[in-house]
Structures are given as structure tokens and as C-alpha cells.
Structure 1
Amino acid sequence: MITLYRPGDSLWHRLPTGRKAALLAALVLGISLVPVSWAWWGALIPAAVCLGCYAVPGIGVTRLLAQAWAARWIILVTLAGQLLFLGPQPAVVNTARVVAIIAVATLLALTTQVTELLDAIERGLAPLARLGVDPRRAGLLLTVTLTTLPVLARAAGHVREAQRARGARPRLRLFVVPFLVVALKHADELGEALTARGVR
């Protein structure tokens, strides 16, 4: 199965998966709760938190820039919609929060192997088994969600780069077919991985 995991020896890589997930979840929650009424501080604080998360030896700001570039369409759509309905300051603040949340959440996938993440989520959800929740399936759902969307975004970027290298014009119909092929291939690999884990 394709993942975003990048081997390394950074602080984030060495941190136990459960603590890392809890810490990053707390940061995401904190970023989402930054009030828009804080004027430009509402954009600077999420940006600073995000920059601090990536500015550790073994990760680097370059990786953050790569994540921002991969999410550029989300950034543009979010910024344009907010500018249209809310104005410049709320638009920048809300867009900064969205970008920071995506980047911080992606850091978990970049520094954690899928199997370790799944095991940590299953252990964390184990107490909910008394309420009828299947920790194994719930953990699998969360793990697949965390890994699939960034992988498809990266695949879309690869398709566009391949088309540019061949001199093709950026047309939607020329992009959709190869992207669907890549997406379906990923779905097949994901299905095989789930079957290997005994999930039907």
C-alpha cells in the first residue's frame, strides 16, 4: 500500500506513536480554536505553530513547503471563497488555519508507519469496545482516511507533472482519465492490504 511515510531519525520519528498522535491532535484543535477576532495574529499563530512543528532536524521547512505546494488548490479555493464572502482579514486567517491543520495532520503520516498508527489508534479506542465500538475497524477507518487523501493529492500532482513533461496542455478531460487510473490502482492496492489484514 502506498503511504506518505518517510523514514528518518527526527524527534517526531522517535516519539511514540500514541503520544505523537495525541500531541498533534491537540495542536490541530488549538489551531482550529484560534479566534478570527484576533486580527492578523489569528493567521500568524497557526503559521508559527506549523513552522515550529516542521523546523526540527530531520524534517525541515522544505518539507512544509512541499506540503503547502501539494495543497495549493485547496488553499486557492479556500482563500477565494473567503475573500468573496468575508473580506481580506478573515479570509487570510481562515486559510492560514486550514493550511496549518492540513500540514500538522500530514506530519503524522510522514513520520509514522501505517501499521504503527493503526495499532496506536486501536489501543486508544479499546475502552470504547464496552460501548459496542469495534476498535479495529474504527482504527482502520481513521488510518485509511489519514493516508488516502494526501496520497491522492500527491498522485494528482504527479499526473500533472507527467503531462507537462510531455508538453500536454492543462485540460480537465486529459487529466481525469490518467488520474482515475492511478486512483483505481491505489484502491486495488488498498483493498489487497485490507484483505491481507483480514478485513472483508
Structure 2
Amino acid sequence: MRVIRLRRPGTSVVHRLPAGPKLATLAIIAIALSAFPHDAGSIAVTLAAVAGLFLLAGQSPRVLAAEVWRLRWLVLVLGLALWIFVTPQVAWINTGRVVALILLASLVTITTPMGDLLAVLRRMLGPLRRWIDVDAVAMTVSLTIAMIPVVAGFAGDTADAQRARGVRLGVRAVVPLLVRTLRHADDVGDALAARGLV
């Protein structure tokens, strides 16, 4: 089982930054990458900035390389499809957007305790307490952020396993990925229940 606890303790400026600004930055960058047009140069700058944030957080190039390596199949499948059916520039821009966001979500998970994320989300959702279960929504959002890099890693592992068996990659590759992801979700649910969090 791949554990969800991805945090790497440290004393960097990114580690010391409160969870609120980190989540706000992640949301702003996600909106900016999604809502505004970009060219190849701006995506290259964005990816370089994300790499710089990893270094600023005291993470070695090896950690960054490992995070990127986990996304290799996503990059290959998405990038190749866009390259073939649209244009190489569109492939670079859109694949770069996705990779940048996943890496940023990984960095938030690496440098922020889950409890801090939950506390910030609870405060943000506090005014809606009359209409929604704030604790449940906060837990869902924080787990979603943490699960993004985990599922990306599952995708890479699944593709590697199928290639090792000589299985051709295709739509059926989604099935073992889905099974593994659901199994992991069950394990996480059991762990949360054992700690009295659900």
C-alpha cells in the first residue's frame, strides 16, 4: 500500500509558510493556468518556477525528479495524443499546465501537515456551516489534494507493470488503476475510522 503521508518535515521558508497562503497560491495558479491563454514560453517559465519552489522548500533535485518520474505516463499519453491530434505547441502547453498543477499539489502535501490543511479549510468553510458538513468537506478537499500525486504514481506503476507483462496499453489499463485506487481509498478510510476521524 502506498501511504498517503507524503509530508517531508523541514525548516525551509515554504515549510514555515502557513497552510492558508499555500492553498490560496495553489488556487490562484490553478485558475490562472486554466482561465488564461498561454504560450510555450510562459509554460516553460511556470515549470521552471515550480522547480524553483521545490528547491526553495529544501527538496533535492532527486525528490523533484521522482515527482516528475511518477507523471511520466500521464505526460506521454496526454502529450502524445495532443501532439498527434492537435499540434506540438498545444501538446506542450496543456501537458505543462497539468504537470505544473500536480507538482504544486505535491509540494503543498510535502511541506504542509494534513492537520493544518484541515484547520484552514474549516475556517474558510465556517460561514457555510448551516448548510454543509464543514468537517466532511474540509476532509474531502484535503484528501483530494493529497491523493493527486498518489494516483499519478499509481498510474505510472500500473503502466510499468503492464509493459513488463507485454500487455498493450489501452482503455483496459484504466481497470487495474481504478481497482488499485479504490483499494487505497478503502485503506485510507479504514485508517481514518481507526483514528476516529470519520
Contact kept in structure 2, 1:159 and 1:178, CA below 8 Å = yes
Unmatched segments (≥5 aa) in structure 2: none
Q: Distance in 2 between matches of 1:183 and 1:125?
A: 28
RMSD: 3.0
**Counterpart position of 2:13:** 11
Q: Distance in 2 between matches of 1:177 and 1:96?
A: 26
Q: Deviations over 1:30-60 (max 9, x none)?
A: 2334414xx4223223223312322215124
Contact kept in structure 1, 2:105 and 2:148, CA below 8 Å = no
Contact kept in structure 2, 1:32 and 1:101, CA below 8 Å = no
Contact kept in structure 2, 1:34 and 1:42, CA below 8 Å = no
Q: Distance in 1 between matches of 2:57 and 2:152?
A: 26
Q: Deviations over 1:52-88 (max 9, x none)?
A: 3222151244322221110111111111121122211
Shifted more, 52-61 versus 4-13: the winner is 52-61
Q: Which amino acid aligns with 2:134?
A: P
Q: Distance in 1 between matches of 2:60 and 2:158?
A: 26
Q: Which amino acid aligns with 1:64?
A: L
Give SS of 1:2's match: coil
Shifted more, 149-158 versus 175-184: the winner is 175-184
Q: Deviations over 1:82-104 (max 9, x none)?
A: 11222111111111111111111
CA drift at 1:114: 1.8
**Counterpart position of 1:186:** 184
Taking structure 1 as the reference length, what is the TM-score of the superposition? 0.78
Give SS of 1:55's match: helix
Q: Distance in 2 between matches of 1:160 and 1:79?
A: 16
Q: Which amino acid aligns with 1:129?
A: R
Alignment of 1:48-127 (within 5 A): 48-127=48-127
Unmatched segments (≥5 aa) in structure 1: none
Taking structure 2 as the reference length, what is the TM-score of the superposition? 0.79
- Aligned positions, number: 191
Q: Percent identity?
A: 37
Q: Distance in 1 between matches of 2:81 and 2:177?
A: 26
